[in-house]
Amino acid sequence: MSNEADGKFNTVSVVGLGYIGLPTAAVLASRGLQVIGIDVSEHAVATVNAGKIHIVEPDLDIVVRSVVSTGNLKATLIPQAAEAFIIAVPTPFKEDHQPDLSYIKAAAETIAPVLQPGNLVILESTSPVGTTEQLAGWLAQCREDLSFPQQQGEKADINIAYCPERVLPGNVLQELVANDRIIGGMTPRCAARAAGLYQIFVRGECLLTHARTAEMAKLTENAYRDVNIGFANELSVICDRLKINVWELIRLSNRHPRVNILKPGPGVGGHCIAVDPWFIVSAAPQEARLIRMAREVNDGKPNYVINKALKAANQFKQPVIGCFGLSFKPDIDDLRESPALAITLALVDAKVAEILVVEPNVKQLPDALTRREVEKVHHNEALERANIILLLVAHKEFNGLSSDFLNEKVVIDVAGVLNH
Ligand code: SAJ
């Protein structure tokens, strides 16, 4: 259903130069388009214009340096006219788990003054169902001289689509190009035009649908993963009670041809899976029972681990806990929304044990820990000095930890490090 003729874009503006916007802008620029990156942060704009990056993502620095030096990518604080606009700003939730759409509203108000007939506006931010229509409403309020799909359908001056990102942090450049893309148009023409833009760099398939279905698809993918991780986390707690090794149990159960249980862990971190399912719950609170429960199970896991470690500490006169891993998942340096970090901080604040932190992926511990004078040590030192070994993240550096040391310790293996 995609229309090749619709794929002619020369200038694209990307609003939000974060974890999704910057790689997308850089990849579009690497295909020869003129890309304008808009951000509210002077630091982000200056960094990108210097050919550097302000986020952590493998190889992104190389692509950004190259497209900035050719002049294909320019960052700015001030919106400029373009043929297509991609909005990739955050959509956090508020205290009560209600979605906060203020960044999208601000993005709409930013681009509205420079919109021209024939423009395509794409929303990529993970959003509750109906947000694309809401975005179209905000744009229409700002520009009464233009027509929008909710008013004029296929004849509208402006085309609007929702195209969720699906990339895995740490593997963004590869997945941006390789993954299939869901393209949700407010009308079929909106979808076809958006597909034309993505086909410039996406090697996966572009799957066309309505904006609302595309919004729900994004939430569904992350809620599906959350529910499955919740199942694994609940199993781990049940297995503790029944004195069964959950890792062996899962390995054996997964030998069934139709069973594929995910891994338990310290909880669910990152900025997507722990957030997005709430957008479904807040839209359908009565119906979304399993999805809410999975959130609660996963959010409850850090406390369970903290209590287990404190109970172990009670057995020692001078407890020393070695916390292995701080990041929100293995082999990355991203500490944001990390359950391992939350657990470590809670153990420090409990003041019942000395805490040693092992995190091979960061040079410096975060301020919250240095302020509390927590020591970062190599894993061998932690193995030597700690009497409780708390394995929080399965970093590759922890494979094959010396069992000579471990035999004499209380080992709490939350991440399945010893069962690889
Ligand atoms: N986790 C487990 N057990 C597992 C898998 C993950 O405890 O078996 C934990 C991780 O340790 C981490 C959290 O879940 O704390 C999330 O990690 P992740 O690797 O599952 O996902 P993210 O947050 O890095 O990226 C997800 C991806 N979504 C899906 O796989 C459905 C990615 O494709 C999305 O683009 C991204 O969310 C996003 O931006 O929405």
DSSP string over 76-110: ESS----SEEEE-----B-TTS-B--HHHHHHHHH
Position 213 in a domain = no
Q: 46: how many CB neighbours lie within 10 A of its CB? A: 14
Position 212 in a domain = no
| Res. 43 pLDDT band, cuts 50 70 90 | very high
- CA 200, CA 197: separation in Å to the nearest integer? 6
pLDDT of 7: 53
Q: Which amino acid is at 260?
A: N
> Is 272 a residue of the active site?
yes
Q: 256: how many CB neighbours lie within 10 A of its CB? A: 9
Considering the candidates 190, 272, 329, 376, report the single residue annotated as catalytic.
Answer: 272
Q: What is the pLDDT of residues 243-283, one digit of tens each?
A: 999 999 999 999 999 999 999 999 999 989 999 999 999 99
Position 371 in a domain = yes
Kindly state whether residues 11 and 126 are assigned to the same domain. Answer: yes
Considering the candidates 163, 190, 206, 218, report the single residue annotated as catalytic.
Answer: 218
For ligand 1, what atom is nearest to the CA of residue 276? Answer: 40
**Helices and strands, counts by H and E, the chain:** 16, 13
pLDDT of 420: 65
Going by alpha carbons, the residue nearest to atom 39 of ligand 1 is 272
Contact 262, 232 (CB under 8 A): yes
pLDDT of 125: 97
Going by alpha carbons, the residue nearest to atom 34 of ligand 1 is 166
Q: Give me the mean pLDDT over the 293-302 stretch.
A: 98
Ligand 1 is surrounded, with C-beta below 6 A, by: 126, 165-169, 221-222, 225, 229, 262-263, 265, 268-270, 272-273, 328-329
| Res. 419 pLDDT band, cuts 50 70 90 | confident
**Measured in angstroms, how far is the CA atom of residue 68 from the centroid of ligand 1?**
31
Kindly state whether residues 170 and 114 are assigned to the same domain. Answer: yes
Give yes or no for residue 342 having a pLDDT over 60: yes
Boundary (domain end) residue, out of 137, 171, 204: 204
Kindly state whether residues 97 and 63 are assigned to the same domain. Answer: yes
Q: Give me the mean pLDDT over the 18-47 stretch.
A: 97
Structure tokens belonging to residue 225: 């993963």
Per-chain mean pLDDT for the chain: 95
Least confident of 139-143, 168-172, 182-186: 168-172
pLDDT of 360: 95
Give yes or no for residue 2 having a pLDDT over 80: no
Kindly state whether residues 150 and 241 are assigned to the same domain. Answer: no
- How many structural domains compose the chain? 2
Give yes or no for residue 71 having a pLDDT over 60: yes
Kindly state whether residues 199 and 227 are assigned to the same domain. Answer: no
Which of 272, 327, 393, 420 best tests ligand 1's pocket when mutated (most atoms within 8 Å of CB)?
272
> Is 308 a residue of the active site?
no
| Res. 4 pLDDT band, cuts 50 70 90 | very low
Q: Give me the mean pLDDT over the 398-413 stretch.
A: 84
Q: Give me the mean pLDDT over the 330-352 stretch.
A: 95
| Beta pairing class for 181-185 and 159-162 | antiparallel
Going by alpha carbons, the residue nearest to atom 40 of ligand 1 is 272
Dihedral, 317, 318, 319, 322 alpha carbons, nearest 10: -160
Residue 186: give its domain's CATH number. 3.40.50.720
Kindly state whether residues 171 and 23 are assigned to the same domain. Answer: yes
Position 59 in a domain = yes
Helices (H), 207-329: 211-242, 246-253, 276-283, 289-313
* pTM for this model (two decimals): 0.93
Residue environment code for 316-344, b if the CB has 16+ CB neighbours within 10 A, otherwise e: eeebbbbbbbbbbbbebebbebbbbbbbb
Position 210 in a domain = no
Q: What is the pLDDT of residues 87-138, one digit of tens each?
A: 999 999 888 889 999 999 999 999 999 999 999 999 999 999 999 999 999 9
Q: What is the pLDDT of residues 50-70, one digit of tens each?
A: 999 998 889 999 999 999 999
Range of the structural domain that residue 307 is part of? 220-419
Q: What is the pLDDT of residues 361-386, one digit of tens each?
A: 999 999 999 999 999 999 999 999 99
